[in-house]
Structure 1
Amino acid sequence: MSATYRAAIRTGLPDASVVVDHFHVVQLANKMLSTLRRRTTAEARGRRGRASDPEWKARRRLLRNREDLTDEQFATMWNPLLGEGQIGQTLLTAWIAKESLRNLLALARTGADRHQVGHARWKFLTCCADSDIPEVVRLAVTVDRWWAEITAFLDTGHSNAKSEGINRVIKLVARNAFGFRNAEDQRLRTRCVTTRRARGHLRTAQL
């Protein structure tokens, strides 16, 4: 979600449709949650987060999807934060906004009509506005600015999530191969993990 990239695409490929998929939008929401957690901890406690802080213990679960949390995991995240006071309530409000955004993005590939999309968008923007949290409001403003490109995703369902996943695997292989001098072997290792169906046809280079 870069305005520079968007301008470059519109200049070089004027007939192309720019699509922002759910991967990057949710990533933006998760970054918002992490930034908010650090700020609220610093303001309320005058220091960085520690392992004993409820918001620190819940930091990973705050970034997970609701459907990926068991009831026990959800209660372990929700209840301590709710009882923590202002810090916890602020984070839970931001988490609800993130889940509201995910519900909006989940309408892709469902054949939802404009009324359903509009209602989900209204719920998300209202949730953000009512929160009165600067980071959450900025997220809503960003989503609103990129709404045309997000709408293109909702209409087409186009996503580069697979290429993002492959790119992550390639980076992981490169990190594991740090210090290796056989570039051909590293390339073949990368092909093996990213083209599993063709793995039987690949032979690693001789070291």
Structure 2
Amino acid sequence: MRYFQDQSTKAWTRFEPWMTTIVDLDTGQVLGVVDGRDHKGVGDWLFARPLDWRLGVQVVAIDPSAAFRKALRMWLPRTAVAVDHFHLISHANQAMTETRQNLSQQVKGRRGRAVDKAWAHRMLLLRAGDQLSPRAALRLEEVFAVDNPTGALQAVWKVKEQLRALLRTGSLEDAEAAKNELEALVKAAGRPETNRLYRTVCRWWKEIEVLIITGATTGKVEANNTSIKNIKRTARGYRNPANYKSVILLRSAVRTAA
């Protein structure tokens, strides 16, 4: 939340810097822009849509946000909701990073340094294991051999890779089997970071199943968010939120129609 002062009246006005973008999954056109990232803003926008429009929505893809899910359950109760693949992988990568950082403090009593293999190759730990070149795979093995005395680093890496494998499955049966294997790896790791990640997977399991069946993601939303940031940079910032939203909607409509 931010506040701006009117230079003439000296009054302070509250301004919400965050916005939620609502995009058509088929065309990529921006349908609406609402202030904030809570359930009320999204819920009010959905409530303003005609009932026939709401009944026609079949699938919605969202970030793993409880606020968004609450609004959808309230106003689109019959709609299938998918959670975005990228954001789930981001949670797994965050667990990997936090594990590396915590282990460095626990084992060495300090933050990672360039002389530490795990720190020097910290980005390698986040890359997709099945897409590593032979040379990169050897570097990863060296990290686990030299800078993984407790074995926890490799255990968490296996959890991360298993989540990726789960999200690549093509059927609910395969997904359930992959989830069971993920649970076993999480128990073997015994780390708070992976326990938290697995709880997130369980809380969003219904939405993960919809993701596996439909393949719906928020990719087109992220693409539009990049365009929206470019609009704001070009204008050197907007002080009038209504004008800002109008430009976003008009430019998206023109680009979609072209």
Is TM > 0.5 for Structure 1 vs Structure 2? Answer: yes
1:36 paired residue number? 99
In structure 2, stretches of 5+ residues that fail to align are 1-63, 240-246
1:142 paired residue number? 200
CA drift of 1:69 comes to: 1.6
Matched, 1:115 2:173: yes
- Greater fraction of residues in helix: 1
CA drift of 1:137 comes to: 1.4
2:156 paired residue number? 94
Tell me which structure has the larger Cα radius of gyration: 2
2:190 paired residue number? 132
CA drift of 1:179 comes to: 9.0
Counting only pairs closer than 5 Å after superposition, residues 149-188 of structure 1 correspond to structure 2 as 149-168=207-226, 170-171=228-229, 173=230, 177=233, 180=236
1:16 paired residue number? 79
CA drift of 1:174 comes to: 6.6
SS in 2 for 1:18: strand
CA drift of 1:31 comes to: 1.0
Contact 2:148 2:154 in 1 (8 A): no
CA distance in 2 between partners of 1:91 and 1:34 (Å): 10
Contact 2:116 2:147 in 1 (8 A): no
CA distance in 1 between partners of 2:87 and 2:109 (Å): 32
What are the superposed Cα offsets for residues 40-96 of structure 1, whole Å, 9 maximum, x if unpaired?
Answer: 111222221111111111210111112332011111122233222425x31211111
2:117 paired residue number? 54
CA distance in 1 between partners of 2:106 and 2:235 (Å): 43
SS in 1 for 2:107: helix
AA partner of residue 67 (structure 1): D
AA partner of residue 70 (structure 2): A
Matched, 1:77 2:140: yes
Aligned mate of 1:105, from 167, 175, 191: 167
SS in 2 for 1:97: helix
Distance change (3 Å), C-alpha of 1:9 and 1:181: closer
CA distance in 1 between partners of 2:226 and 2:113 (Å): 29
Count residues with an aligned counterpart. Answer: 185
In structure 1, stretches of 5+ residues that fail to align are 199-207
CA distance in 2 between partners of 1:182 and 1:14 (Å): 35
Contact 1:51 1:57 in 2 (8 A): yes
AA partner of residue 93 (structure 1): A
What TM-score results when the alignment is normalised by the length of structure 2? 0.63
Contact 2:113 2:119 in 1 (8 A): yes
What TM-score results when the alignment is normalised by the length of structure 1? 0.77
